[in-house]
Structure formats: structure tokens, C-alpha cells
């Protein structure tokens, strides 16, 4: 096939022709919308570094959940900002902690909505790390017990999916075992399997108040230079019982999504993180880019790379205004 017999432009002439041969689809049902839950009542406070995102008390989260489902988005991901932090992050597994309360309130009001919970300690520890500290080091195996308690408390509150984001070794296996022993063998694990030590988490750390108080997360999150290691991480999590594997962030790591898609048959999720979102919001607020088009292009790119599911702060914007179905 070569010019002049083959003319690729023939199939680009009209929108109908373009739609007929479009290879990748993007719809609200592919998306998960993250929400930040805070203690209190009647609270809806804008998050400065993430325009359009809010800190919400449980009652307001329920209102948001209704709106999300009405827009055709089937899932939310909950992060909690606890009343109190301590060295072990003990508020992360409180029976009536902020996330646990939000889960049960949402499941009561909007039972069809899938509630995913972020399982981690960094938002709950006084030092801001994702694990417990002994002798100045993150103690991997001691952390596994706590993460299992957190996941179990979320399942008991009614979470549909638990999503460990801590990057400790062995956490998927530990959580799977705990859930199964307690009668939650039907609760899937969405593992943050390939999570890089990324500077794109900046705005989120403000939103979730979880910046590490000393050092950084490079002893547990991955080196951005590594691809093969990402595959090893993903395979380990799959063997330990993960049901869905996540790559995070998304846009700077499309090659990893693509690689994983070829190597692994599990569903793949990608997290378009806070920095990716806020950059687009900031540039468009200056009039430098067209927000809706750049949003759609970024999300279709993530789907084209091989993600089945995208976690994105743009979920509602896309559901409201997109032409891509
Ligand atoms: C907690 C967690 C983080 C994000 C999701 N879960 C922050 C981090 O690891 O520092 C980032 C999400 C985002 O930037 O949107 N472990």
C-alpha cells in the first residue's frame, strides 16, 4: 500500500468516518473519581493546589457520590484526613474512622456506586511515611500487620475494593490472607503495583496532608528510571493475589502501561495523579491550552497505552462535557 493508491486522508474526511475507524474509546465508565474525606459536618473546602477538588465531610461526600453516579461514573476512591495522627497511624483502622464512616454512609445512600478505599498509613502517621519506623528505618514486616488491619476495617465498613498504595513488600499477600480469613474473599485488591517515587504527587500531599516529615519515599516507591523492575513488582503482586494492577503516575509512564498490558492478563488501572491534573488546570487558567481538549487527549492516550481503568480528578469534567464515547 503506497501513495497514490493509498491515501490515509480518505478516512479522515468527516467526523462520521473518523468515528467509524476510531480504535480507542473513553467513557465515564472507565473512570474512578478520587475524593478526600475530612472529619466534621457540612464541610466543602476547596483544595488550593487542585482546582475543582474539595475536602468533604462525610455528609457532603454522600452528596458528591450521588452526583458522581448520576454522571455515569461507577466508582470513587476514598482518601481520609484523620482527626489525629500518631507514630503508627492508628486512626487508619478505627472502626468509625473518617474513611470507614464515609464508606458505610455512601453504601447506604448509593449502594450501586463502587467504593474503592486507599489503604496506606502516610495520611495517618505523624512522620508522614507509609510504614512504621523502627531505628530510623521503615519497618516493612511490622507495617504489613497494620496495613492488613486497615484493609479489614475498610472491608468491614462495606468497601467494594481495597487499594494498597504503600509499596511495602508482601502487602498484597498479607491483605489477601487477612480478608479471606475474615470472610471477605469476595473483596478485590486493586494494587498500586508499579508506583514511582514521583514529584507529580506534590499537590496531593498538600490535599492529603501527607508529605514525609523527614527524608523521602525512595526506599519504598520505585526509581523513575526503571521499567523491568516495574514488571517484577507487577508480577509479584499478581502472584500474591492482586485482582487489578495499577501504574502510577500515568502520563510520564505510558511505556510501563503498554509493557504491562503485553505481559499480564489482569485488568490494568492507571492513576493520572494530582500533578498531572493541576498542570493542565494551571496552563488552561492562563489561557495557554484548551482544557477540555487536553484533558481528553491525555485520557485517551492513557487508554491507548493499555489502561482499562483510569483514576483521574477529571472524571466529572469528562463525564459532563466530552464528545469521546
Ligand atoms: C499515599 C498516596 C499518594 C498518592 C496516592 N496515594 C501520595 C504519595 O505516595 O506520596 C498520590 C496521588 C496523587 O498525587 O494524585 N501513599
pLDDT at residue 321, as a whole number: 83
Q: Rounded to the nearest whole angstrom, what is the distance from the C-alpha of residue 201 to the centroid of ligand 1?
A: 6
Q: Which of 88, 195, 281, 316 is catalytic?
A: 195
Residue 325 is predicted with a pLDDT of 44
Architecture of domain 25-321: Alpha-Beta Barrel (3.20)
**HEC assignment per residue over the chain:** CCCCCCCHHHHHCCHHHHHHCCCCCCCHHHEEEEEEEECCCCCEEECCCCCCCEEEEHHHHHHHHHHHHHCCCCEEEEEECCCCCECCCHHHHCCCCHHHHHHHHHHHHCCCCEEEEEECCCCCECCCCCCCEECCEECHHHHHHHHHHHHHHHHHHCCCEEEECCCCCCHHHHHHHHHHHCCCCCCCEEEEEEEECCHHHHHHHHHCCCCCCCCCCCCCCECCCCCHHHHHHHHHHHHHCCCEEEEECCHHHHHHHHHHHHHCCCCEEEEECHHHHHHHHHHHHCCCCCHHHHHHHHHHHHHHHCCCEEEECCHHHHHHHCCCC
- Identify the pLDDT of residue 206: 86
Pocket of ligand 1, candidates 200, 208, 247, 249: which has the most ligand atoms within 8 Å of its Cβ, to mutate? 208
Tell me, what's the pLDDT at 258? 98
Q: Whose CA is nearest to atom 10 of ligand 1?
A: 201
Among the listed residues 85, 88, 107, 248, the single catalytic one is 248
- For residue 120 and ligand 1, the question of a CB distance below 6 A is answered with yes
Question: What pLDDT was estimated at residue 322?
Answer: 60
Q: Quote the ligand 1 centre to 298 CA distance (angstroms).
A: 19
Average pLDDT per block of 10 residues along the chain, 325 residues long: 96 98 97 98 98 98 98 98 97 98 98 98 96 95 98 98 98 98 98 98 92 94 98 98 98 98 98 98 98 98 98 98 57
> How many Å apart are CA 162 and CA 301, to the nearest integer?
26
Cα(210) to centroid(ligand 1), Å: 8
Ligand 1 midpoint to CA 60 (Å): 22
Whether 84 is catalytic is no
Active site residue 195: yes
Which ligand 1 atom is nearest residue 166's CA? Answer: 16
Looking from the CA of residue 201, the nearest atom of ligand 1 is 14
State which of 130, 210, 248, 281 you would mutate to test the pocket of ligand 1, scoring each by most atoms of that ligand within 8 A of its C-beta: 210
**Ligand 1 pocket, residue 93 CB under 6 Å:** no
Amino acid at each position: 500500500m503506497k501513495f497514490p493508491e493509498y491515501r490515509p486522508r480518505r478516512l479522515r474526511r468527516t467526523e462520521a468516518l473518523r468515528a467509524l475507524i476510531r480504535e480507542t474509546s473513553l467513557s465515564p465508565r472507565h473512570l474512578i473519581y478520587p475524593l478526600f474525606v475530612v472529619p466534621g459536618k457540612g464541610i466543602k473546602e476547596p483544595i488550593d493546589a487542585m482546582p475543582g477538588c474539595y475536602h468533604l465531610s462525610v455528609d457532603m461526600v454522600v452528596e458528591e457520590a450521588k452526583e458522581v453516579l448520576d454522571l455515569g461514573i461507577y466508582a470513587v476512591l476514598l482518601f481520609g484526613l484523620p482527626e489525629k495522627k500518631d507514630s503508627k497511624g492508628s486512626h487508619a483502622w478505627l472502626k468509625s474512622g473518617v474513611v470507614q464512616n464515609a464508606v458505610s454512609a455512601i453504601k447506604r445512600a448509593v449502594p450501586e456506586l463502587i467504593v474503592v478505599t486507599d489503604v496506606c498509613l502516610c495520611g495517618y502517621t505523624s512522620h508522614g511515611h507509609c510504614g512504621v519506623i523502627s531505628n530510623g528505618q521503615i519497618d516493612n514486616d511490622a507495617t504489613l500487620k497494620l496495613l492488613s488491619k486497615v484493609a479489614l476495617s475498610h472491608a468491614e465498613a462495606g468497601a467494594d475494593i481495597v487499594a494498597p498504595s504503600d509499596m511495602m513488600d508482601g502487602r498484597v499477600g498479607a491483605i489477601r490472607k487477612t480478608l479471606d480469613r475474615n470472610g471477605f474473599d469476595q473483596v478485590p485488591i486493586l494494587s498500586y503495583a508499579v508506583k514511582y517515587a514521583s514529584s507529580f504527587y506534590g499537590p496531593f500531599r498538600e490535599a492529603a496532608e501527607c508529605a514525609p516529615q523527614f527524608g523521602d519515599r525512595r526506599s519504598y516507591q520505585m526509581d523513575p528510571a526503571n521499567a523491568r523492575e516495574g514488571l517484577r513488582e507487577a508480577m509479584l503482586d499478581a502472584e500474591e493475589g492482586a485482582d487489578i494492577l495499577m501504574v502510577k503516575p500515568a502520563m510520564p509512564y505510558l511505556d510501563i502501561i503498554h509493557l504491562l498490558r503485553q505481559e499480564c492478563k489482569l485488568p490494568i488501572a492507571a492513576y493520572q495523579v494530582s500533578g498531572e491534573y493541576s498542570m493542565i488546570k494551571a496552563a488552561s487558567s492562563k489561557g495557554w491550552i484548551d482544557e477540555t481538549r487536553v484533558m481528553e487527549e491525555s485520557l485517551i492516550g492513557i487508554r491507548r497505552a493499555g489502561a482499562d481503568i483510569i483514576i483521574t480528578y477529571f472524571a466529572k469534567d469528562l463525564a459532563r462535557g466530552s464528545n469521546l464515547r
